[in-house]
Amino acid sequence: MSSNIVHLEASTESSPNDLALKNPSLVALGERVRSLRARRGLTRKTLAQAAEISERYLANLEYGIGNASILVLQQVARALRCPLAELVGDVTTSSPEWLLIREQLEHRDEATLHRVRVAISELLGATAANAQRSARIALVGLRGAGKSTLGRMLAEDLGFPFLELSREIEKFAGCSIAEIQGLYGMNAYRRYERRALEEAIQIYPEAVIATPGGLVSDPATFNQLLAHCTTIWLQATPEDHIRRVTAQGDLRPMGGRAEALEDLKQILAARAPFYAKAEFGLDTSVQPLQATFLALRQIVRGALQLPV
């Protein structure tokens, strides 16, 4: 046996009959370990040896007693020949069908995954195959990219309503964005955000929608946007983002800190792969406002097959 064997530090043995008194997350983890072990046809002793942990530690883990470190869970996952996500209860490992789909998609490139996502949306009815491009124009990107300014200009040019989704969220909640997040938390804010988008989709067959910068953080809401809107990512340099937001008297989420620019770069880097899922992109830093608007107008009118 390896010298790396881990022992549970506990002064008393706990019975499996006491599970109701234990942390539900640890109990659920233990049940998954036990189920995976049974599925693999392994005894507890065999799995403990393969994972290089003590049999007692594994027993307590299965009973919902052992609060294992991430390193120990990785050892157990390797011994069970399963992803760590399956051990901790990721939804994509919750059934045989999920696991089979996950295995087929693993290690595929982004282009293939994109085609699969579109095909799934069509199969589930989220979008119609070969449907005419939506006349709801959704502008995505970080604050300071020009979504509100260019969105109003575009809506006026097209004769469409202009919606700033942040204002629609505040109407739903009856208070400001800051109050929603401060009083009820980010999860509540995301729920209001999704409801506001769903209502906009239902009410407006034609519209220009300026979306909050963080909307892409919620996959369900972002899927709705991609399925029902023609999406355009408005990009800008970090310096332009800072300058424009500062000119508006708004430094959220940087809060005026000296490291604001570095923080913004990190936010952009984290969100850029999601913004890039938009159908079109436009850099709003390379030209003056009027020239940028004309470029946006050409993209949208071309997409909707309208006279330029």
Q: Write down the mean pLDDT value for the chain.
A: 86
Find residue 135's DSSP bridge partners: 206
Residue 131's pLDDT band (boundaries 50, 70, 90)? low
Q: What is the model's pTM? A: 0.74
Domain count, the chain: 2
Residue 54's CATH number = 1.10.260.40
Q: In what order do the strands lie in the sheet with 206-210?
A: 162-164, 206-210, 135-140, 230-235, 280-283
Is 256 part of a structural domain of the chain?
A: yes
Is 4 part of a structural domain of the chain?
A: no
* pLDDT for position 132: 65
Average pLDDT over residues 238-267: 73
pLDDT in tens, 66-119: 888 999 999 999 999 888 988 988 888 878 888 888 889 988 998 999 899 888
Buried b or exposed e, range 15-35, using 16+ CB within 10 angstroms: eeeebeeeeeebbebbebbbe
Residue 242's pLDDT band (boundaries 50, 70, 90)? confident
Residue 7's pLDDT band (boundaries 50, 70, 90)? very low
Is 102 part of a structural domain of the chain?
A: no
Verify that 127 and 80 share a domain, yes or no.
Answer: no
**82: domain range?**
16-93
Is 111 part of a structural domain of the chain?
A: no
pLDDT in tens, 191-231: 999 999 999 999 999 999 999 999 998 988 999 999 999 99
Domain finish residue from 93, 108, 136: 93
Q: How far is the C-alpha of 145 from the C-alpha of 167, rounded, in Å? A: 18
Residue 187's pLDDT band (boundaries 50, 70, 90)? confident
* pLDDT for position 90: 87
Report residue 54: phi and psi, to 5°. -75, 155
Residue 217's CATH number = 3.40.50.300
Point out the least confidently predicted range of 36-40, 87-91, 129-133.
Answer: 129-133
Buried b or exposed e, range 211-225, using 16+ CB within 10 angstroms: bbbbbbebeebbbbb
Is 289 part of a structural domain of the chain?
A: yes
